[in-house]
Structure 1
Amino acid sequence: MRGIVSPKLTDFLAVANNNIALAKQNNVQFTPSILRENLNKLGGLMSDSPSVNYVADKVFTLIDRTIAARVYSPAPDKPLPVLVHFHGGGHMCGSVALYDPICRHLASIAHCVVISVEYRLAPEYPYPAGLNDCEHALIHYAQLLDDVNHQDSVTIIGDSAGGAICTSLSMKSLTDKRLHIDQQILIYPSVDYTLTSPSLDSNGSGFLLETSRIKWYFEQYFQSTDSDILKQASPLYGAINANLPKTLIFTAGCDPLRYEGFAYANALSTAGVEVEHHSFDGMIHAYMLLHDLVKEECITTYQHIAEFMAKS
């Protein structure tokens, strides 16, 4: 069933849909630079960027590369829980800089240490390069906290493709004991790369993120359209049992990824995992990047995250 969008987003979507129609009319093809530029423009809708006592750019140093990260703490002298953050953007867009306001809200409202990871992006670095970066950051996160007090508990959080990264790492943690994850927080997560979710049809046009763009993202990320490869990489079809971490999930009613978020929540619950699920029925994919337009929904999301973190 197609979602009914909030009136708060009507004008925004009218402009976005007009631009999408013009691009199609003029046969403008997707390119990484165009899509990255378009996503970065949403940064102008996150003018509310709270001050945080400690913010520092750090780096993981590996033999063949470095992985940049930004660390936030509202109280660097206090032992706070750690939240490792993986941004969204279809595995080929997004950045620590774009998500800076979101990480500041997370640190201040949820009162935790946030580590925002600048993982490699496709198509320059296809699957599993970015996932490998995030895995390294999760295993070695404490290397960046030498001057920040923190607890040993670790929660991972990601929106969209970042949610795919979280669920992929959680799945791997079942067999790789180096990956310690106490909880995962998923915001309109991508967990099914097979493009068979019903909401891709019902919500796949008119709500900013369109099914054609999702398909193109996945082609750049995997450099393949082989259905077996896509299914094998999809957390929804992977190992799901009671040993997966406690999970908080947010879905949006007008999101083409809506159904797979529900399906993953149901699969976890059926397996015996503790799951908390909140659905924002009038919201679209990426609503957290539209803070100025839907401030109430964004703040409510942060508050749910804070409550979830406080229970850990």
Structure 2
Amino acid sequence: MRQLSPKISPWLATFNQQLSKLQANGYKPTCTNIREGLAYLTAVFVTDIPPIPWVQDDLAPSSRYKVPVRIYHPNPSRTLPVLVYFHGGGHMAGGITVYDAICRKIATAAQHIVVSVDYRLAPECPYPAGADDAFSVVKHIWEILDQRQLQYKRQLSIGGDSAGGALSATIASIAQFDPSIRIHAQLLIYPSLDYTLSAPSLDENGTGYLVTKEKVTWYFNNYFQHNEDRKAASPLFAEFSANLPPTLVISAEFCPLRDEGIAYLARLKKAGVASDHLHFADLPHAFLNLENLVKEECQRAYQSMGAWLNLKKNDAENESQK
């Protein structure tokens, strides 16, 4: 029988009660209060902020929009591989400031240079602006790091949580047919991969678990504003080949997006792509943003991200020596 973690269920019950009161008093979601809500939630519950010796902001070149990025180098004396990370927030919220602590934790756990991307958000900048920004950063990542004269290993991984997972999987899908972009590995953390809203877990977990089906629908309606083909835009329904990067999917039982990540893994396996799955059987979506409630689980997630990226690194080094 499924049971939400007792570490998080009391807080979630209070959250749901407060939300019901707000709605009874006429609350309406806007891009402003959604952004404030995610920023506040993360600031309250992610308070362990590891020091990183080198952190700087920069811009990724693009013909339309120079994309802000924040670069974290956990050990500037070492030549480290690179991870480009796309934050979550339903394509409407989040940012490099909101995700600062989370990216520091990933950089520390994985011993990777992490480049956090401040891609454009809906509704001001609807699809495909965010995806275009994500692609621009990946396309120009070595140029950005060269200009900073950083020590790095030319080994690129990508990743993201929720909507950031959608962007990562979208870039991976494009890169499988672009010989100029080589993606070493991918991290997908409770990813959004199906814009058609067809996964059964959207109904099973669509009410009462922080991120609702109603909210996800609202996110997507703001993201897609010009009658785009949402199925064609969904990474889950794109072409899968053996050129996709080895992928770790982290999922949560009480997440409305749970089944999308599981289905993506199945398609990777069918295409012959190495993959791994870490499932948290008693947690909801966005648990990394609730770290103080579930510290051990978050620590396990970060350790698994680091282990996966470095396992794939070792595999590549072994292969090159054959």
Gaps of 5+ in 2: 314-322
Mapping of 1:184-223 within 5 angstroms? Answer: 184-223=186-225
* Contact 1:173–1:181 under 8 Å retained in 2: yes
The aligned residue for residue 242 of structure 1 is 242
Distance 2:64 2:266 in 1: 40
Secondary structure class of the residue paired with 2:291: coil
Q: Which residue identity is paired with 2:302?
A: Y
Compare 104-113 and 141-150 and name the one that shifted more.
Answer: 141-150
Deviations 1:34-65 (A, max 9, x none): 11111111121110000011111111243443
Equivalent residue pairs, number: 309
Compare 175-184 and 6-15 and name the one that shifted more.
Answer: 175-184
Compare 20-29 and 34-43 and name the one that shifted more.
Answer: 20-29
Q: Which residue identity is paired with 1:155?
A: S
The aligned residue for residue 270 of structure 1 is 270
The aligned residue for residue 141 of structure 1 is 141
Q: Which residue identity is paired with 1:176?
A: D
1:3 shift after superposition? 4.7
Mapping of 1:253-292 within 5 angstroms? Answer: 253-292=253-292
The aligned residue for residue 173 of structure 1 is 175
Distance 1:35 1:281 in 2: 27
> CA 1:278–1:96 in structure 2 vs 1: closer, same or farther (change >3 Å)?
same
Gaps of 5+ in 1: none
Distance 2:82 2:11 in 1: 35
* Contact 2:62–2:136 under 8 Å retained in 1: no
Q: Which residue identity is paired with 1:251?
A: S
Give every structure 1 segment of 4 or more consecutive aligned residues whose post-TM-superposition deviation is greater than 3 Å: 61-64
1:243 shift after superposition? 1.5
The aligned residue for residue 27 of structure 1 is 26
Distance 1:237 1:279 in 2: 22
Distance 1:165 1:19 in 2: 32
The aligned residue for residue 6 of structure 2 is 7
Distance 2:229 2:170 in 1: 14
* Contact 1:163–1:191 under 8 Å retained in 2: yes
RMSD: 1.4
Q: Which residue identity is paired with 1:300?
A: R
Distance 1:249 1:5 in 2: 20
Mapping of 1:152-171 within 5 angstroms? Answer: 152-171=154-173
Secondary structure class of the residue paired with 1:166: helix
Q: TM-score, normalised by structure 2?
A: 0.93
Q: TM-score, normalised by structure 1?
A: 0.96
Distance 1:220 1:28 in 2: 18
Distance 1:63 1:241 in 2: 30
Distance 1:64 1:134 in 2: 13
Distance 1:201 1:3 in 2: 15
Secondary structure class of the residue paired with 2:183: coil
Deviations 1:193-249 (A, max 9, x none): 00111001110011000000000000000115x5x7111101111101221110001
1:143 shift after superposition? 2.4
